[in-house]
Amino acid sequence: MEINKFIDHTILKATATEADIIELCKEAREYEFFSVCVNSGYVPLAKKQLSNSKVKVCAVVGFPLGAMSTEAKVFEAEQALKDGAEEIDMVINIGELKSKNLKKVEDEIAAIKNVIGDKVLKVIIETCYLTPQEIVIASELAVNAKADYVKTSTGFGTDGAKMENIKLMKKAVNGSAKIKASGGIKNLDTALSYIEAGVERIGTSSGVSIVKELKG
């Protein structure tokens, strides 16, 4: 199995330096990961580092809280694409979901999908803050808004990916969107268990050690 092709090689911490981004891209080239996932301000640097490679650049939008205005998220997504991003991982407005302002949540996802067009949109629903019912609703809203993926977590919440939540999401999207697991995926066994459960992308900062474990 080419597990590297499932991996979005990720660095999103506030303290990430230019040198960290350059190293991330170097590793992504070496291990042929699917993409690197970075904060939007680092997209130009990542794009430059990955020129003449097949590794895509993925940018997070509205990260990590999701509580900024829709206009701000739309602008951030547009700018990330201009800077060379090929995929967008956006955070939903969790408070609006919990307030049952469902149309507002769906419209925001749709607005971002509208500006990025045929580029891939992954919707981070931050499962650790949601009830099982809210996980289902959030996944359905993402599908309604034509998102390509539903994603478990930012990695900055109180918890990361969980098998029971992935199963809920998979059932809710019913084949109309793919699933990305992220948050706390640090070893091969965990990554493989999610892939076997139908996950099509893994977000992790442990991609190198996971690949080494597989080869080892």
Distance CA 106, CA 109 (A): 5
CA distance 141 to 172: 10
Nearest alpha carbon to residue 161 among 116, 209, 119, 206: 206
Of 8, 89, 148, 178, the active-site residue reads: 89
- Cα–Cα distance measured from residue 203 to residue 24, given in angstroms and rounded to the nearest whole number: 13
Active site (annotated) includes residue 151: yes
Sequence-distant (≥ 6) Cβ neighbours of residue 173 within 8 angstroms: 139, 140, 142, 143, 150, 179
End-to-end CA distance of the chain: 14
Catalytic residue of the set 151, 162, 170, 178: 151
148 is catalytic: no
What gap in Å lies between CA 216 and CA 212, rounded to an integer?
Answer: 6
Catalytic (active-site) positions: 89, 151, 180
